[in-house]
């Protein structure tokens, strides 16, 4: 009986952990004959909790963005920016004034390109200053994080599973120890009563009690205590330093990356703000470069086509921005230093605040997981009764 109870404890814990993460999408016949992992099923809510956890006590994105030096940013973009500007100038002039660009001598064309290239860093610096001075004006970071995690449910799972991997292993293993201990009590109860009901009842209790104890031992007690020389401290609480590093690493490499932030600026709900800034700067630069010759340019190209040229130039700058900006991603990631920032700030959280990093993933469906474990334990207990009691009785009757 202790062995069977240990098996029940192990299987119910294994099921509880698997139920948190798998499957990523609903499998079965809706609404009742099927299952979806508890975290993927509530992807939107869990992603929002993850974002709120990050920003409530770990990072301030505005403060992080202020670490970016526009001059350093331009230096990283120097080569790709020059290439992008040259391609843009050639394409626009060829399209809006066919034959003119090809008819110009090469030294003249090179001079025009160099003039635009000389102005491009100023445009980038101005854009960088405006973005870093109020990042939330140009990108809805919460929307970006939540939408990315909802779209990539495996990444949402990893945000919990990778950080709490040792604790998840503990949950599964604990079922063996707790189950065996309860199995001893079950054996005594069976010896005293000889009742077949002992099996399913204790199976139910084994699934319920072991799930409840394992989940709570992850987080409680929040502060280290000693009882009869035994160290009592929540498993997750013990690993604060390691959790900070792993959590920060995952956020920096998978969620708040320079690429994701740029995409959020270019395609998120507030992308019109960045587009307006880019259009303004590009138009200003073109007007400045036209200088005294602007009336002649308008006369040659046409007023409407000149305005269309400026609009088209801004649109192409935005369209090619992700590719052009690739060279600055390494510098931006280093400047933001999200990984180390999270690791350091996690050290000064209170035990309660630290618990909230991972607890919501379990707390959200804790009762469901415990109840499923209890029901499974009861079913296995009834199977135990069938094997240990009813089957021998049936074989004995047949033998007679």
* 8 Å CB contact between 175 and 9: yes
Is residue 337 over pLDDT 70? yes
Cβ-based burial of 56 (10 A; exposed 0-12, middle 13-18, buried ≥19): exposed
Phi, psi of 224 (to 5 degrees): -65, 135
- Using alpha carbons, list the distances in angstroms from residue 149 to 103, 142, 144, 160, 212: 53, 11, 9, 12, 29
Exposure string for 343-360, b = 16+ CB within 10 A, e = fewer: beebeebebeebbbbbbb
Report the pLDDT value the prediction gives residue 397, as an integer from 0 to 100. Answer: 67
- Domains of the chain: which residue ranges? 1-395
Residue 385 confidence (pLDDT): 65
Is residue 12 a contact partner of residue 212, using CB atoms and an 8 Å limit?
A: no
Evaluate whether 115 touches 289 at the Cβ level (below 8 Å): yes
Task: Identify whether the C-beta of residue 288 lies closer than 8 Å to the C-beta of residue 118.
Answer: no
Write down the pTM of the prediction. 0.78
Residue 322 has pLDDT above 70, yes or no: yes
Where residue 333 falls among pLDDT bands split at 50, 70, 90? very high
Q: Does residue 314 contact residue 283 with C-beta atoms inside 8 Å?
A: yes
Tell me how many degrees the CA angle 100-94-92 measures, rounded to the nearest 5. Answer: 125
Of 141, 197, 150, the closest CA to residue 336 belongs to 141
């Amino acid at each position: 009986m202790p062995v069977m109870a240990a098996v029940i404890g192990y299987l119910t814990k294994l099921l509880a952990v698997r139920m948190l993460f798998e499957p990523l999408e609903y499998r079965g016949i809706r609404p009742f004959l099927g299952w979806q992992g508890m975290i993927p099923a509530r992807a939107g809510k869990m992603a929002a909790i993850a974002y709120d956890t990050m920003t409530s006590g770990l990072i301030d994105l505005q403060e992080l963005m202020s670490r970016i030096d526009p001059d350093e940013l331009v230096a990283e973009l120097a080569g790709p920016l020059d290439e992008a500007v040259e391609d843009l100038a050639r394409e626009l002039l060829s399209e809006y004034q066919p034959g003119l660009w090809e008819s110009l001598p090469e030294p003249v064309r090179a001079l025009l390109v160099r003039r635009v290239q000389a102005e491009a860093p100023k445009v980038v610096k101005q854009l960088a200053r405006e973005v870093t001075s109020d990042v939330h004006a140009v990108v809805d970071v919460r929307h970006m994080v939540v939408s990315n995690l909802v779209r990539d449910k495996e990444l949402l799972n990893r945000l919990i599973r990778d950080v709490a991997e040792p604790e998840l292993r503990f949950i599964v293993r604990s079922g063996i120890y707790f189950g065996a201990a309860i199995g001893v009590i079950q054996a005594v109860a069976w010896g005293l009563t000889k009742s077949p009901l002992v099996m399913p009842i204790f199976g139910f209790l084994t699934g319920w009690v072991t799930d409840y104890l394992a989940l709570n031992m992850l987080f409680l007690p929040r502060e280290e205590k000693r009882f009869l020389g035994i160290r009592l401290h929540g498993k997750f609480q013990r690993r604060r330093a390691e959790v900070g590093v792993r959590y920060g690493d995952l956020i920096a490499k998978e969620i708040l990356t320079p690429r994701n932030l740029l995409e959020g600026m270019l395609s998120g709900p507030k992308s019109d703000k960045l587009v307006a800034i880019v259009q303004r700067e590009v138009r200003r630069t073109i007007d400045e470069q036209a200088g005294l010759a602007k009336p002649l340019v308008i006369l040659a190209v046409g007023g409407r086509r000149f305005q269309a040229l400026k609009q088209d130039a801004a649109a192409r700058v935005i369209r090619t921005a992700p590719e052009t900006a690739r060279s600055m991603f390494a510098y931006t990631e280093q400047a933001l230093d999200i990984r180390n920032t999270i690791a350091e700030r996690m050290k000064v959280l209170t035990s309660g605040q630290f618990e909230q990093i991972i607890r919501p993933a379990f707390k959200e469906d804790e009762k469901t997981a415990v109840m499923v474990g209890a029901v499974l334990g009861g079913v296995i207990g009834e199977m135990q009764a069938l094997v240990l009691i009813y089957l021998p009785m049936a074989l004995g009757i047949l033998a007679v």
